[in-house]
Each structure stands twice: as C-alpha cells, then as structure tokens.
Structure 1
Amino acid sequence: MNFPSKLIEDAVSEISRLPGIGKKTALRLTLHILKQPESFSQSLTAAISKLRTEIGYCKKCHNIADQEICSICLGTRRDRSTICVVEDIPDVLAIENTSQYNGLYHVLGGVISPIQGIGPEELKIDSLLNRIDEQLGSDPVQEVILALSATMEGDTTSFFITRKLKEKGIKVSTIARGIPIGGELEYTDEVTLGRSILTRVNYNLE
C-alpha cells in the first residue's frame, strides 16, 4: 500500500495494530480524522492517554473502575449473596447488557491453560476465595455462578474452582449451554447438542 505521506503511513501502521482493523480500515479512519477539526484529534488523543494512565481495577472483583471499588460492588441494590465468575472484563459487559443478573462479579483474568503456562496461581482464584471468607460474617456468599467459556480450559478452571468452593459448602452453578435462539439442529455441533439434551428443561405452556 502506497501512502502520499510518511505521517499517514505511521498513523495507519499504528491504528492497524488494533484488533479487527486492517490496513484499509486504518487508512479510512486516518483520513476521517484528518477531515475533522484539530480539536477532535486533540480530544481523542487526550482521552486515550487519560484512559491508559488513569484507569484502575476494582480491588474486590478486578473489574474496570475509576476508583478503588467499582460501581457494581458499591451498588446498594445488588444481590451480594451471588457472585458470577467470568474470564475477563468483556464478559461482565455482556452479562450486564442482558439486564437479567443483579448479583456481583469476579474477574479471573483468564483461564487455566497448561499449554500457555497459565496455572491457578496466575489467576484471581485466591482473591475469590479470600473475598468469600471476608463475607462470611454479615453478608455471606450463598452461590457462585461459573460463567466461563465452553472450552477444555474453561471446564478445567470451573472444575478447579468448584473443588475449592465445595470445601466451603457454597452452592456452585454454571450458565446453561445449549442451542441458541434461531439456531438449527442440523448446524449445531455434537457437544452442544448433547449438553442441550442432558440439561433439558420442562416445557411450559403458560
């Protein structure tokens, strides 16, 4: 790809390093920025710089936070007896967007993967266990929902956490796995279809 300016080439090179953005999209974004008022690029630069230098993580759940404790953990209307364990921050956003869950979260920061050299000690599992112990007095955790990916690594992580939590006598559940709405059985993989059969629910006419 030929560029009329080294400055444009450098901008395209940097923008294309973002996930899901190729050279053509990066060039289109670069040219769009050039067409905007100078204040636009200054505001964009300032926002990104501030994001990188000032962003923090919740000391309790490890979600993104603007202060020591995130807004979810501080929420007075949250069900503090339930903690949903997720792999990473985008999972929190996805579940929140459903408006179907009102408990707390715990971000592990990944899943156990021996191939990649990620063991339990690299994740926020001990933090989860300590957090549950701290809540034993006034507001104990009664259920932990494991909302991890349906992969071998996700299942390994779920198994490890379940063993740890069983020692504490806490109910452990996992999110349902099955056929998506609008999906056709013909194109569903055997593992998903099998789990859908095993975790079937009663059909309600009401």
Structure 2
Amino acid sequence: MPIRPAYLAALSLAVLGVAGGTLSAARPDVPANFPEPPARKAIPAGNQVAVLAGGCFWGMEGVFEHVKGVQSVVSGYAGGAKADATYSKVSTETTGHAEAVRIVYDPAKVSYGTLLKIYFSIAHDPTQVNRQFPDTGPSYRSAIFPQTAEQRRIAIGYIAALDKADVFSKPIATKLEAGSFFPAEAYHQDFMRKNPNNSYTSRYDKPKIAALKKRYPALFKG
C-alpha cells in the first residue's frame, strides 16, 4: 500500500499545529447557513453522473458514499489521458490528472446542486490551490467536471453565488474543467470502508463524515 504523497511531511506539520485535521464544518469560514445552489430547471430522468475533484479521492469517496440518493462512488483520475491514468504516474504531478470521484446519483432523491453544496461546504476546502491540506500538487486541485450543460450552468451559478456571499475568507480556487474519467486501481476503491483504522483517513477524512452527519442529517445515510 503506497503512502499518500506528502503524508510524512504532514505529520511533522501536525506536530507544529500547521496541518488542519478537523475539516469542513469545523472551519470558521464556513457559515452554518451555507447558501443554497441555483434551482434546477427540471428533474432528469434516470440516474445521473457527477465528477468532482477535491484532494485525496479516499475522503471524497467516503463523504459521498454517505449521501442519500447516491447510488455509487468510484475513485479515479480526471483531466488527463487514459495511458497516464495510474497512481504511480499521476503522483508525479506531470500528467494533468486530478484525483476525482465519479458519483452516480438518483436526481429524484438528491440534486446536482445539493451534491455541490456538500462538495463546497464539507468534502474539501475550495480555497486551496493545487493542494488539500497535507497533499500538494495539481492532482489535488479543486475542480468540477460537468457532465451536462445543465451541470455546468448550476456549477457556474453556484460559484458566483458563493463569491458574492463572501462565504469563504479566501477566493474560491475551484475550476470547471473537461476531460474523461478513468477509475483508479482496485485497492483505492472503498478505501475507507476497507481500511477503517488507516491513520491518514482517520485524521483527515473521518471528520468530514462526522461534519456531514451533523450539518445535514436529513441527507446522511449510514
């Protein structure tokens, strides 16, 4: 099992009190009355797909697996070529990929806008540039990969609304990107479920799931 890039350095930072181990709802710059996303024009028929990048895909996967209406979550790589979509290559930070998750959801139970609300308020810190806490490099960037024109409209509108509301103390770094999604290696899938005592996810990802349950109990599933 490979060690997360920069994790050993993160442990040193944590000793100094630099690395943030309590995320999302614990951040003082995330208000309790987080703005609502733009309204959708209609409920799409059948299951839909969302692709989001926000740092280590272990935690992103773990958060969205606990959202009602989400059917499945797959960890993978988005924004680069298929031939380079391997952990060893992506970790060189030269392939153009972002660690991302592919979320299959039932739009009759949870909207794309609601997924984005969780993404911005719980799943990661959208103000960090080419990093998420201990992990640094463009593969850990904040990026949305819209799968439809309607998803693009909602994402653009929501980022604009968050900016206007001055939700965060720093500018939102999230970009809208295009590109295919490629599943990651099998050992990355359902990582938190398979490795409940992993030190990395215990420090950086379990607090996100706790925040999801506390902040949005009606959306949480065990």
TM norm structure 2? 0.27
Instruction: Identify, as 1 or 2, the structure richer in strand.
Output: 2
Structure showing greater radius of gyration is 1
Instruction: Identify, as 1 or 2, the structure richer in helix.
Output: 1
Structure with more relative contact order (C-alpha pairs < 8 Å, separation 6 or more): 2
